[in-house]
């Protein structure tokens, strides 16, 4: 993975993450997040506490992917099945499996919804739109509901320090504004699809509130 972010690569990784049977490959899901971390890091240091948590979640999942049970961690579907069948998930309160694949991926999954809402706002924004406002609106509609007060405050502070819309478009590294908007239009349905497949799977298995 290169250090500089490219929206095109995010699109490609999320595209690769969907199998023909509409299962989600964890490997590419994580790769997509790694790209997004590069994106956050290019937005400045205020985002480092946010990206740190994402990086540690990616690391937990990578350990499963390379560990002895890796054959069960190919797709989100196979992971859910394997961890549930083998009682590897703390379902109601934190216990002996505080870092299960299921609960770890759920955190990224919730954050992906934020990203989707934010990028959709960015895509349809106008010149005088403020990134901080777009980011916090998307956050309040999604991830904030799962965060305690202290984190919500800290995230709010980070948003205030966000660069403006022009910088965002530049950082996406995908050409001029029109090209970025077009690429966002192409990426968002993919991100939304991956999100929805995961959401349905977690809902079906009663996993949406994992501690």
Among 14, 29, 114, 169, binds ligand 1PW (CB under 6 A): 114
- Using CB under 6 A as the binding rule, whether residue 40 contacts ligand 1PW is answered as yes
Please give the C-alpha separations between residue 134 and each of 114, 170, 177, in angstroms, as whole numbers: 10, 17, 17
Angle at 129 between CA 166 and CA 169, to 5 degrees: 25
Choose between 41 and 68: whose C-beta lies nearer to ligand 1PW.
41
Q: Which segment (19-27, 63-71, 112-120, 201-209) binds ligand 1PW by CB under 6 A?
A: 112-120
18 forms beta bridges with: 24
Q: Are 17 and 8 in contact (CB under 8 A)?
A: no
Q: Is 22 left (phi over 0), alpha (psi -120 to 50) or beta?
A: left
- Using CB under 6 A as the binding rule, whether residue 54 contacts ligand 1PW is answered as yes
The count of residues interacting with ligand 1PW (CB under 6 A) is: 14
- Using CB under 6 A as the binding rule, whether residue 155 contacts ligand 1PW is answered as yes
25 forms beta bridges with: 75
Among 111, 134, 191, 207, binds ligand 1PW (CB under 6 A): 111
Question: Shortest approach of ligand 1PW to residue 32 CB, angstroms?
Answer: 11
Q: Which segment (6-14, 76-84, 85-93, 108-116) binds ligand 1PW by CB under 6 A?
A: 108-116
- Using CB under 6 A as the binding rule, whether residue 138 contacts ligand 1PW is answered as no
| Long-range pairs of 199-207 with CB within 8 A, sequence gap ≥ 24 | 199/109, 201/76, 201/77, 201/80, 202/80, 202/106, 202/109, 205/80, 205/84, 206/91, 207/80, 207/89, 207/91, 207/102, 207/106
- Using CB under 6 A as the binding rule, whether residue 122 contacts ligand 1PW is answered as no
Binding residues vs ligand 1PW (CB under 6 A): 36, 40, 50, 53-54, 107, 110-111, 114-115, 118, 143, 151, 155
């Amino acid at each position: 993975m290169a250090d500089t972010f490219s929206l095109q690569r995010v699109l490609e990784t999320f595209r690769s993450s969907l199998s023909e049977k509409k299962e989600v490959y964890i490997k590419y899901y994580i790769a997509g997040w790694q790209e997004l971390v590069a994106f956050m890091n290019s937005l400045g240091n205020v985002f480092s506490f946010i990206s740190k948590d994402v990086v540690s979640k990616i690391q937990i999942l990578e350990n499963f992917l390379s560990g002895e049970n890796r054959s069960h961690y190919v797709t989100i579907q196979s992971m859910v099945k394997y961890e549930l069948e083998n009682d590897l998930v703390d379902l109601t309160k934190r216990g002996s499996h505080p870092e299960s694949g299921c609960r770890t991926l759920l955190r990224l999954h919730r954050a992906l919804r934020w990203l989707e809402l934010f990028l959709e706002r960015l895509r349809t924004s106008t010149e005088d739109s403020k990134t901080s406002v777009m980011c916090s609106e998307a956050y309040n509609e999604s991830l904030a509901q799962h965060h305690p007060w202290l984190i919500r405050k800290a995230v709010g502070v980070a948003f205030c320090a966000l660069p403006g819309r022009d910088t965002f478009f530049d950082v996406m590294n995908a050409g001029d504004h029109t090209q970025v908007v077009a690429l966002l239009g192409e990426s968002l349905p993919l991100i939304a699809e991956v999100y929805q497949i995961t959401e349905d799977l977690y809902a079906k298995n009663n996993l949406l509130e994992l501690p």
